[in-house]
Amino acid sequence: MQRIKCIIAYDGSQFSGYQIQPNKRTVQGELEKALMKLHKGEMTKVYASGRTDAGVHAKGQVIHFDSALSIPAERWAVALNSLLPDEIAIFEVEQVEPSFHARFDVEAKEYRYFVYTGKLRDPFQRNFAYHYPYPLNLQAMQEASECLIGTHDFTSFCSAKTEVEDRIREIREIEIVETDGRLMFRFVGNGFLYNMVRIMVGTLLQVGSGDISPQEIPAILEKKDRTYAGKTAPPQGLYLWQVYYEKKL
């Protein structure tokens, strides 16, 4: 048995999210279908660093699986890509120690969120950025983002449906930059709760619009109640950008 780690990218717009679900087209479903073909009908379970929701993209999702096939690492990408739909690409494959686990060994993750701020809609960005054509105060957003950096209980910034008990997470970096007509939000943290990035972005956009002042952020965190934070930004702007397994930060 070999444990295989892959870095994959996918365009999430036509998937019902990462995680396998009956009668839905999912990234995990497509990966396991491809592996089943390679393994002559035998099921191979795939483990990812975490799920992504419907419409959310990945530039650097990490998965692992075990295989008895003796394919050299560099051939795995070619074999899998030929069996996968064009919306998923395997771009790095590595044989790892059997103790490696794509989810449990995560040290940190980077998410990016793109907002298209042009006045008129852009058909080419509809699945890849959130169209928010309103004036934004970038400085206020940056001030607010600084209040989110650090170790906090993020209950106010996760879906009310979150079942995880421990909502304390450490956000190490938040960067907000303007790049050719788009706003890029970059988040690095040791872990993210359900909808956490999208709620932080939605809240920061409301700060940028003047609905919420940067000074309110610490109080919103204090409340530990989802209803105090801003809206959940839509999925199409979100990308799981990179997963870190060693403390590189």
The whole-angstrom separation of Cα 12 and Cα 61 is 12
Active site residue 53: yes
Closest contact distance (angstroms) between CB of 97 and its own copies is 25
| Binding residues for its own copies (CB under 8 A) | 9-11, 57, 77, 81, 86-89, 91, 120-124, 126, 128
Run of H or E residues at 43: none
Please, which residue, 100 or 128, has the CB nearer to its own copies? 128
- Any known ligand binding at 244? no
The whole-angstrom separation of Cα 177 and Cα 13 is 24
Q: Do 132 and 205 touch, CB atoms closer than 8 A?
A: yes
Please, which residue, 71 or 149, has the CB nearer to its own copies? 71
Closest contact distance (angstroms) between CB of 89 and its own copies is 5
Run of H or E residues at 108: strand 108-116
Run of H or E residues at 204: helix 196-208
Return the number of other C-beta atoms located less than 10 Å from residue 145's C-beta.
23
Please, which residue, 27 or 193, has the CB nearer to its own copies? 27
Please, which residue, 78 or 138, has the CB nearer to its own copies? 78
* Residue type at 155 in one-letter notation: T
- Give the tokens for residue 191: 């872990």
Closest contact distance (angstroms) between CB of 26 and its own copies is 15
| DSSP code of residue 197 | H
The residue annotated as part of the active site, out of 11, 53, 105, 153, is 53
Best CA proximity match to 192, nearest among 224, 152, 246: 152
Closest contact distance (angstroms) between CB of 200 and its own copies is 23
Run of H or E residues at 34: helix 27-38
Q: Which residues are catalytic?
A: 53
Provide the annotated binding site for substrate. Answer: 111
Provide the annotated binding site. Answer: 111
